[in-house]
Each structure stands twice: as structure tokens, then as C-alpha cells.
Structure 1
Amino acid sequence: MSKKLKIAIQKSGRLQEQSIKMLKECGLSFANGSSRLKAEVDNFPAEILFLRDDDIPQYIEDNVADIGIIGENVFIEKEKQGEIILKLGFAKCRLSIAVPKSAEYKDAGTLNGKKIATSYPVIVQQFLNENNVNAEIHEISGSVEIAPGIGLAEAICDIVSTGSTLLTNGLKEVETIMKSEAILVANNNLDAESKAILDRLVFRINSVNAAKSNKYLVLNAPNNAIEAITEVLPGMKSPTVTPLKEEGWSSLHSVVNENDFWGKIDELKALGAQGILVIPIEKMIL
């Protein structure tokens, strides 16, 4: 029986949908019904384990799962053994301190002597230690935002995405103590065969993520502007230049990073580029 990489992902919640989407973009074919706890991958040496997010670090440490996709905040909070292989670029959020809108907040020292409600006592304690703050932590598992309103605490520390939940509960965000996103974590003791399969998967993930952050650019330009345009569009090595039927003109093909996209377009137009096409890239093998 051939070796299979055991991949743990969230059974339900904010990470599940994006984790499944990423794995399928990497070419892995598997069923993912809501009642499933395990699924075989049809076309890759792996199986998917659907687990509670908070349990994934423990399963990785215990060798039940070889790798897992979890929030960075969960991995740090659980303090389990494992190696961060990749930051995956989705499910981005922040872990922040919030206080009632009417409360004054100057800096971390404001929390001295206060009660802080949170589901992340380990991370909050690290923050307090780093800032020489002596505060009392109340660990609660859910509905952290209501703690100040019912007199349980004077501040909270919780995951924030948009901040709308804080506003609804009469709170204001005053301190970001950690930025988090989905990460790929591996067991520290993977054998050589499992590591080889993991390397194949990481290669696919990097190819998918590179494609998302880049665009394929096609444009027409006068030949006397090609050198200047090449300086703007170096591409992965250099732009591809193909002569057009119209004398004195060529077609240039290149790849542009998403972050530089509009700035590059303005420069290209100024150099005489015409008929600019911007095409999404499905996969990008580096």
C-alpha cells in the first residue's frame, strides 16, 4: 500500500471553504460532504481529515495528521509541536484588544489592573508580559464581545475581521496584538516519503498563489518604444516580442504583479502602448 499524506482541515467554519478551494485548485480531487470525517484523494497520494480547528495542532503533534491548514492564531495559542511550512494568504484577520466606546485608552499600560476576557489567554499573556502589564485574564470560549456589557471584564481580546461586531456591541478596537492568516503546518517527524509528497503539494500551492498575484499582459507597441517598455515590463525574465503585420509595430507579452498593475498600465500608455489586454493566470510554474 502506497504512502498517503494525511491533511487535516477545518470541519466547518471560516477556514474550511477556502482550504478546500485551495486544495482543489492544486488539482486534488476529493468529496467534501458536510457529514464526512475523512475523504480519499482520487488523484494524489493524500487523504483529507475534517477536524475541529482547535484540535488540529494536537492531531499534528500526535502524528494522527501529517499536515494541517489552520489559523496562525490557533497554532500559536495551542503551543503544540509543529513546523510552519507556508503562510497561505487567505483568512486574514487580527487579534485585537477592544474596550467600551466610552472608555479612555492611551496605551497597553491602560490595561494595568483590568480584567480582560478572551478565548486566547496564551497570546494575551504574552502581550501583557512584553508590555510589563499586570492584568487579570478571564478565559471564555465564545461571545467574548458581551463581557464588558455584563460586567465580566473591562476589555476583551478577540479576532477581528471588519470590526462590525465590535461596533454592534458598543466596543472600539484599541490595540492589535497579532496579525493572523491561514498557515500550512507539518509534523516535525515526517518520514522521507511523506516529506516528498509534501514537497509536491507545496510546489502546487506556490504555483497557484503565484498565479493569483500576477497577471498576463499583452500589448501592441511601436518598435522604437520596445526598449523603454522592456524596462517597465521585465516579466519573469524579459517580455516576449513578436513582430506584427503592420510594419514598425510588435506585440509584447509579459507578466505583471497584481500590486504593480495600474502603475505599470499608466507607464505603458505614456510610452505608446496600445491594445493592452490583461488576462488572469490559472497556474504559474516557477
Structure 2
Amino acid sequence: MSKKIRIAIQKSGRLNEDSLQILKDCGIHIDNGRDQLKASAGNFPLEVFYLRNGDIPQYLRDGVVDIAIIGENVLVEKGEDISIAQKLGFSKCKVSLAIPKGKNYNTVQDLEGKRIATSYPNTVKQYLEKHGVNAELHIITGSVEIAPNIGLADAICDIVSSGSTLFKNNLKEVEVMLTSEAVLAVSPGIDTARKEILDKLLFRIQSILKGRDYKYVLLNAPNEKVADIIALLPGMKSPTVLPLAEKGWSSIHSVVGKNRFWEVINELKENGAEGILVCPIEKMVN
């Protein structure tokens, strides 16, 4: 029987949804029954294991799974020995220190001798050691935000996405210890056959991620403005220029990076571009 690569993803929540979506975007269809802990792909040599996020690093280490889509913050806390094959650009968050709103704060040195409640003791310990701060850590597996309100801690360390949970618990963020996103992590024991499957999967993922970073732009321009507009649209190599039925006009096709998109669009308009059409790019293959 041919081998399948075994991928772990979070059992539920936003990371689960985004992980399944990127596999779907890769053209991989998961035969996923309700409440299954394991499922197979119908058109790619892949098995999905639905696991608790915090357990995934050990499953990777033990070779129970070959790869995983997991939060980078979890690897910092529990799997620094596990390599990352690809950052995935979704499920972004911060791991931060927060204190009650009414407390004064200037630098991390203000936490000297304080009590910090957290589910990320290794991350906090490394950060405090780096800054020469000694503090007492209280390890909590559930919600840590309530700890200062009940007198258990002076500060907390937790994941921060929108900041709404901190606000609801009368807390303020004072230190960002690290930023995190979903990553594709690889077991140190992955074998050659499964590594070949991983390379095929990575090719698909990277094509999708690159496509997300660009927009496809089509526009019309008078021929005397084409040179100026091409200078604004380097594209992958150079823009495509096609003559229009209307004499003296051309259609220009190119791609624009999303980070400069609105700036470029304004420059195009200022240089005579008309009828600008912008399309998403599903995949970009090199």
C-alpha cells in the first residue's frame, strides 16, 4: 500500500477552519465525517488527525504524525526542536503580558517580584530571563484573564488577537513577547517517501500564498501613456500590452503586490489609466 503523509490540525476553532480551507484551496478533498478524529483525502495521499493544539508538538516528536498546521506560539512554548517548513499567514496573534488598567507601567522591570498567571510558562520564563527580571509564575490551563481580579496574580501572559478579552477583564497590554501565525511544522522523523509528498504539498501551498499576496490588474491607456504606466507595473517580468480595437489605445495586464496596491492604483489613474479592473489571484505558480 502506498504511503500517506499524516497531518495534524486543531480539533476545533478558527485554526481548524483555516487549516481545512488551505487544504481545500490546494485541491485536496477531505472525506470528513462528523466528530471523526481521523479522516483521509480522496484525491491526495494524506490523512488528517484532529488533535488538541497543545498535544501536537509531542505527536510530531514521536512520529505519530509527519506534519502539522499549528500556531507558531505553541512551538515556541512546547516544540522549539521542531522545524517549520512554511509560515501560512493566517491565525495571527500576539503573546503578550497584561496588567490591570489602573496600575502604572513603564518597563518590563516593573514586573520584578510580581506574580504572573499564564498558560505559557516557558515563553514567559525565557522573556523575563532575557530582561533580567525575576517573577513568580502561576501556571493556569484555563482562562487566565480573571487571575488579577481575584488576587491570584499581578499580571497575566496570554494570546491576544483583538484585545477584546483584555478589555472585558479590565486589563491592558503592556509587553508583546512574540508575534505568531499558523505554520506548517515537520516531524524530525519524517521518512523519505513522505518527504516527497510534503514537497508536493508545499508546492501547492506556496502557490496559493503567493497568489494571496498579489492582485491581477487590467486597464486601458492611450498609447502615449503606455511607457509611463509600464514603469509603474513591473509585474512578474513585464506587463502584457495588447492593442485595443479603438485606435491609439492599448490594454495593459499585470500583477500588483497587495502591500502597494492602493498606492499603485492612484499612480495609474494619475498617469492616464482608465477602466481599471482588479481580480483576485487564486494561485501563482513559478
Tell me which interval the TM-score lies in, with the shorter structure as reference length. Answer: over 0.9
1:62-109 per-position Cα deviation (integer Å, ceiling 9, x unaligned): 000000001011111113632111110000000111001111111010
C-alpha contact (below 8 Å) 2:94/2:178 kept by paired residues: yes
1:186-265 equivalent positions in 2, closer than 5 A? 186-265=186-265
Post-superposition shift, 1:31? Answer: 2.6
1:19-168 equivalent positions in 2, closer than 5 A? 19-79=19-79, 81-168=81-168
Paired position in structure 2 for 1:18: 18
1:200-231 per-position Cα deviation (integer Å, ceiling 9, x unaligned): 11111111111112111000111111111111
1:138-194 per-position Cα deviation (integer Å, ceiling 9, x unaligned): 000011000001111000000000111111111111111110110110012322211
Q: Which amino acid aligns with 1:82?
A: I
Q: How many residues align?
A: 286
Post-superposition shift, 1:271? Answer: 1.1
Q: Which amino acid aligns with 1:282?
A: E
Q: Secondary structure at the match of 1:195?
A: helix
What runs of 5+ residues in structure 1 fail to find an aligned partner? none
Q: Which amino acid aligns with 1:96?
A: S
C-alpha contact (below 8 Å) 2:229/2:268 kept by paired residues: yes
C-alpha contact (below 8 Å) 2:219/2:252 kept by paired residues: yes
Write the distance in 1 (CA, Å) between the matches of 2:124 and 2:61.
23
Q: Secondary structure at the match of 1:86?
A: strand
Write the distance in 2 (CA, Å) between the matches of 1:188 and 1:281.
34
Write the distance in 1 (CA, Å) between the matches of 2:38 and 2:79.
25
Post-superposition shift, 1:196? Answer: 1.1
What runs of 5+ residues in structure 2 fail to find an aligned partner? none
Q: Secondary structure at the match of 1:127?
A: helix
Q: Secondary structure at the match of 2:145?
A: helix
C-alpha contact (below 8 Å) 2:32/2:40 kept by paired residues: no
1:115-140 per-position Cα deviation (integer Å, ceiling 9, x unaligned): 00000000000000000001000000
Post-superposition shift, 1:283? Answer: 1.4
Write the distance in 2 (CA, Å) between the matches of 1:73 and 1:110.
24
C-alpha contact (below 8 Å) 1:81/1:187 kept by paired residues: no
Q: Secondary structure at the match of 2:183?
A: strand
Q: Report the more deviating stretch, 149-158 or 23-32.
A: 23-32
Write the distance in 2 (CA, Å) between the matches of 1:71 and 1:145.
20
C-alpha contact (below 8 Å) 2:87/2:181 kept by paired residues: yes
Write the distance in 1 (CA, Å) between the matches of 2:109 and 2:86.
34
Measured on the aligned residues, the alpha-carbon RMSD in Å equals 1.0
TM norm structure 2? 0.98
Paired position in structure 1 for 2:268: 268
Q: Which amino acid aligns with 2:230?
A: T
1:220-250 per-position Cα deviation (integer Å, ceiling 9, x unaligned): 1111111111110011110011011111111
Write the distance in 1 (CA, Å) between the matches of 2:49 and 2:189.
19
Post-superposition shift, 1:32? Answer: 2.9
